[in-house]
Structure formats: structure tokens, C-alpha cells
Amino acid sequence: MTRPSEVKPREGEQPGTPAAEFKVGEQLPLMQFSVTPDIVDEYIRAIDSDPSLYSLEGRRVAPPNVLAVYQLAVLYRRYPPIQGIILTEQEWRWHNPIWADQDTDIEADGKIVDAFKKRGKDYLRWSAEFRRKDGTPIASSINTMYIPE
């Protein structure tokens, strides 16, 4: 079982990354973690949901957004967060389920897609890809965040 806090650096733990240091086109390093039935159940309780809502062909699945709590770690492990970052947009695509009744070993990585200014403020767009260790895709996301000065 891998809790998000085990793989995601927190703001203020180390010097953060200013906007000028992000390199468009850079591949983000591989991250590995496991989503277990305990993580799935804990997540369902945390979002105050009903486990019976999550099934596919009669088998329990994890809420797809359980990966959202790991998403920032894909970026932060290479670029530590600076205080005040705001995630402004997310676009998710789910490809295959995470089964709620078994451990799922996951690999994730990503890429810096774009860095731009909007109304004089710095923004970053980056991707994250999540897959099983056998290469089966689970989910992908494109994310945009504001990076303060």
C-alpha cells in the first residue's frame, strides 16, 4: 500500500521551483506505487461516497479519481512545489479500471507540455500517464497550474 504522502513532496519541505525553471518537453521521471483495497476503501470514506456505486460487470472497482491524489507527485518529484501553486484545470481520460479487490501496482510518469503567461501570471501545463506495471493504460491527464512569483 502506498499512501500519497509517501510519494508526494509537500510545499515548504524543500525549496520550491520557480516558473522559469520548468523545461517544456522534459519527461518527468517514473514513479511507482500501489493502490490496495485498503486505499480504495479509505478513499471512498474520505469522499463520503457509497462503495456500491463503483462496479464494472459485477466486480468492485476503485473510483477512477482515486488517482487524483497521486497526480501532483508525478510533477513534484522532479519539480518541488513552491508555496501558493493553484491547480486551475484538469482533463482526465480513464482507459481501464483499478480493481477494488486486489492490489494494483502502478507506474506513472509525465511530461512538461507548455509554460505560458496569462494576464502577466505564469502557468504550466503538464501531463501524467498512469498504467499497470504490465503497460496496460489506466488513466491520463492534462493539467494546468498557476505558479506564483
Q: What is the pLDDT of residue 98?
A: 97
The answer, yes or no, to whether residue 89 has pLDDT greater than 70, is yes
- pLDDT for position 97: 97
Locate cell 518527468: which residue? 28
What tens digit of pLDDT does each residue of 118-139 get? 999 999 999 999 999 999 999 9
pLDDT at 104 over 70: yes
Max CA separation in the chain (angstroms): 51
- Distance (Å, whole) CA 42 – CA 118: 38
Per-residue pLDDT at 15? 77
Give the residue with greater pLDDT, 74 vs 149. 74
Instruction: Give Cβ neighbours of residue 87 (< 8 Å, ≥ 6 apart).
Output: 72, 143, 144, 145
What domains lie within the chain, and their CATH numbers? 25-147 (3.10.129.10)
* Helices and strands (DSSP H and E) totals, the chain: 3, 7
Amino acid occupying residue 126: W
Computed over every residue of the chain, the mean pLDDT equals: 91
Neighbours of 45 (CB within 10 A): 10
